[in-house]
Amino acid sequence: MFPEFLESPTYQLARQQYERITGLLDLPQSERERTLWPRRAIVVSVPVRMDNGATRIFPGYRVQHHLSVGPTKGGLRYHPDVTLGEVAALAMWMSWKCALCGLPYGGAKGGVACDPTQLSRSELERLTRRYTQEMIPFIGPHVDVMAPDLGTDEQTMAWMMDTYSMHVGHPVPQIVTGKPVNLGGSACRREATGLGVAYLVNRTAESLGLSGRPLRIAIQGFGKVGAAAAVQLHRFGAKIIAVSDVHGGVFRQGGLDPAAVADFVQRGHRLVDFPDADRITNDELLTLDCDVLIPAAIERQITEHNVRRLRCRILAEAANGPTTAEADAILREQTDIHVIPDILCNAGGVIVSYFEWVQDLQSFFWSEAEVRDRLYRQLEAAHHQVQQYRKKTGFYIRDAALALGITRIIEAKKLRGLFP
């Protein structure tokens, strides 16, 4: 198991971050090791009857990083490049994020190596149900709770909830979060990650004195997170000058209307064909002259090859792990780009997932205003703690956020002791 983790570049990135922080904090080796390795790593094969009658086998994964303070929590990703190592890295980041935000969860992540854009709806349903069935021995509302991530959505969660509920014989909405609202989902969960990104971008712009004029914003990845952040920032008065997806992007100096772009894509058009805008590549988007750059797609997009060409004032990491360790070392020295690190920047999603789980457990649902208010208060608290810790230690902002999360987990493990 461990050799494959070690080979994954995304796992290497998470591990390098972890070792940097435990080194800065001068923690003993035994404490470092205990929190590094995942508690459980599950590999399954997911056989799916395809629409043409053939059977295909897809590899499926779930990694539960630690169960020291509550159930594990984390998304499920459908993407052709998913590996056990990537999922292990994403599970670690979830742990640190939950600890940073004071949520009673360890981190987890799951994935199936498939291209969801090439599967029919019924193939996706069979794949999701079979993956859920394979995971039943390892999940539960107090063991491990899944949510949408790259390539999955509310419908995926509805199928998972149904499969688990049929297995136990009664409805268990709290087995997943990010469900449709009429199955026990929470108000605002769909847009929660984007709302959080927009909130922190505005807070940071304010502190840098950039709020006097409309912020010019470029967003890589116009999916659930990128589109919701764009719509919210546009509502706050920002100019969304460029957006992209896996096929490329569009740019308009005077600003795009993100709701119109989302509507265009939903009607089945390609984003790159959006009218009255210039086509650009993803690489061009990342290096546009703008106030805020938001990578909201996949890992390792800001690298040592493009980091020196970034022309933003704020780098808001909506994706998980969008910046490589080499690029981050350059950003750390470069004081004119202010980073909002991923474990803080995209925490709005897991915060509202936590609210959804709590609402499901008590079968008592909150209004949209209540969810938003609680989300902003919880994000503000995490943001404030990172700023205070940074002032106290002089750490770079990513190191401050990671150190807060990691020390909380290590402390919880010490308090519980080692079983037996």
Q: Nearest approach, Cβ of 380 to ligand NAD (angstroms)?
A: 18
Q: Which helix (H) or strand (E) holds 149?
A: none
Q: Measured at CB, which residue is nearest to ligand NAD?
A: 223
Structure tokens at 299: 């890992």
Residue choice 60, 110, 148, 173 for contact with ligand NAD (CB under 6 A): 148
End-to-end CA distance of the chain: 24
Beta-carbon contacts of residue 230 (< 8 Å; ≥ 6 apart): 194, 217, 219, 222, 240, 243, 258, 261, 262
Q: Is 261 in the site for ligand NAD (CB under 6 A)?
A: no
Residue choice 10, 35, 186, 220 for contact with ligand NAD (CB under 6 A): 220
Are 204 and 338 a contacting pair, CB within 8 Å?
yes
Q: Which of 348, 308, 351, 339 is nearest to 326 (CA)?
A: 308
Q: Is 282 in the site for ligand NAD (CB under 6 A)?
A: yes
Q: Which is nearer to ligand NAD, 22 or 95 (CB)?
A: 95
* 383: β partners: none
Distance CA 146, CA 76 (A): 6
Q: Is 356 in the site for ligand NAD (CB under 6 A)?
A: no
Contact range with ligand NAD by CB under 6 A, out of 143-151, 372-380, 396-404, 405-413 = 143-151
Q: Is 223 in the site for ligand NAD (CB under 6 A)?
A: yes
In the set 97, 109, 179, 239, the catalytic residue is: 109
Are 110 and 88 a contacting pair, CB within 8 Å?
no
Q: Which of residues 284-313 bind ligand NAD (CB under 6 A)?
A: 296-298
Distance CA 385, CA 21 (A): 17
Residue choice 10, 132, 156, 193 for contact with ligand NAD (CB under 6 A): 193
Structure tokens at 328: 């981050």
Q: Which is nearer to ligand NAD, 226 or 258 (CB)?
A: 226
Q: Which is nearer to ligand NAD, 157 or 238 (CB)?
A: 157
Distance CA 221, CA 227 (A): 8
Q: Which of residues 323-342 bind ligand NAD (CB under 6 A)?
A: none
| Three-state SS at 7 | helix
Q: Nearest approach, Cβ of 376 to ligand NAD (angstroms)?
A: 17
Q: Is 320 in the site for ligand NAD (CB under 6 A)?
A: yes
Q: Is 96 in the site for ligand NAD (CB under 6 A)?
A: no
Q: Is 349 in the site for ligand NAD (CB under 6 A)?
A: yes
Are 381 and 199 a contacting pair, CB within 8 Å?
no
Distance CA 191, CA 374 (A): 15
Q: Is 319 in the site for ligand NAD (CB under 6 A)?
A: yes
Clarify whether 179 is annotated catalytic: no
Residue choice 60, 71, 107, 151 for contact with ligand NAD (CB under 6 A): 151
Q: Is 318 in the site for ligand NAD (CB under 6 A)?
A: yes
Task: Mark 253-291 as b/e (b = at least 16 C-beta within 10 Å).
Answer: eeebebeebbebbeeeeebeebeebeebebebbbbbebb
**Rounded to 5 degrees, what angle do the CA atoms 355, 361, 363 make?**
95
Q: Nearest approach, Cβ of 323 to ligand NAD (angstroms)?
A: 12
Q: Is 150 in the site for ligand NAD (CB under 6 A)?
A: yes
Q: Nearest approach, Cβ of 66 to ligand NAD (angstroms)?
A: 19
Q: Nearest approach, Cβ of 350 to ligand NAD (angstroms)?
A: 7
- Cis peptide leading into 322, omega within 30 of 0? no
Q: Is 185 in the site for ligand NAD (CB under 6 A)?
A: no
Q: Nearest approach, Cβ of 344 to ligand NAD (angstroms)?
A: 11
Task: Give the interface with ligand NAD as residue ranges (CB under 6 A).
Answer: 148-151, 193, 220-226, 244-246, 282, 296-298, 318-320, 346, 349
